[in-house]
Amino acid sequence: MKSLLLSALLLLCNTLHAQTQFPTFLQGTWKVTDKNIYEHWDVVHDQLLKGFSYQFVNGHIKTSEYLEIKIEDNKLIYTATVIGQNEGKSIVFTQTHDLPNLVFENPDHDFPKQISYQLIGNDTLAIQLSDRSNLTRSFLMTKQAATTPTTFSKNNPNYDEALAQRLGGDDYGMKSYYLVILTSGKQPTSDTALIRKSFQGHLANINSLVAKDKLVVAGPLGKNEKNYRGIFIFHNLQNAEEVKNVLQTDPAIHNGLLDYEIFSWYGSAALPEYLPVSDKIWKLKP
């Protein structure tokens, strides 16, 4: 995946131990040596970094991918979502080795399968991408002056700081969500009473989670060959384990009539703002 070659800096873990500290020093802008390739990072909180990879094309920023670093189960997790590739799916790399050569791997990915990092001085990284056999690529990245991101940025004349803070948006008006794809359950049953009661509880639970400001989007999918049944989009949840616990409050899931797949998703922080309007346009309750 070519774009990943441009975004390897995101795991710039220097002398920090991934299991106890988080690389907040990444905040700022980094540049590939002798190339028009940049990455910019912002700290969302002490266990989450959001970034993007870009180039300058005719004086304008052209974004190539969205990036994320977070801590899960005491390991650093790096996620890249490349524009126009992988059908919009994110690629995830997991920390497998600690310092002095920090290594992240995804053995199921085509290239790279392994990313390793060695800090040179305070502002330069030697990065190696490998398929763990014969193909290896290396390059350097350097941190830019603190004033550089301001030069790259475009200020929004309509920016509402109070609204952005209330919605939890970052500098790009975005925030992290969890996308859940609902699938058919693994415990089919012909007990019509159980099915009816479970799906009545399913709908009631949706309304409850919306009222608790955890669920933003819910809805069924049309018939498809993948047997996907519907989607949820959650926010204000800290990790996938918390999402799993919330999903178990759904009777249809708890009773095995529905199953699920969980994905991290980076989207507009304004998404929940549609909810008050949605309550004014329905005529009949399902």
What pTM was estimated for this model as a whole? 0.54
At 176-229, the pLDDT tens digits run 899 999 999 988 888 999 999 999 999 999 999 999 999 999 999 999 998 899
pLDDT at residue 23, as a whole number: 66
Specify the pLDDT at position 3: 47
Domains along the chain with CATH numbers: 2-154 (2.40.128.20), 174-278 (3.30.70.1060)
pLDDT of residue 7: 47
User: How confident is the model at residue 149, as a pLDDT?
Assistant: 44
- Determine the pLDDT at residue 5: 41
Burial of 156 (0-12, 13-18, 19+ CB in 10 A): exposed
pLDDT tens by residue, 251-268: 999 999 999 999 888 889
What is the layout of strands, in order, in the sheet containing 258-268?
215-220, 228-234, 174-184, 258-268
Mean pLDDT, each 10-residue run in order, the chain (286 residues): 45 39 71 88 80 84 86 85 84 79 85 82 82 87 65 68 87 88 89 93 96 95 92 92 95 95 90 92 82
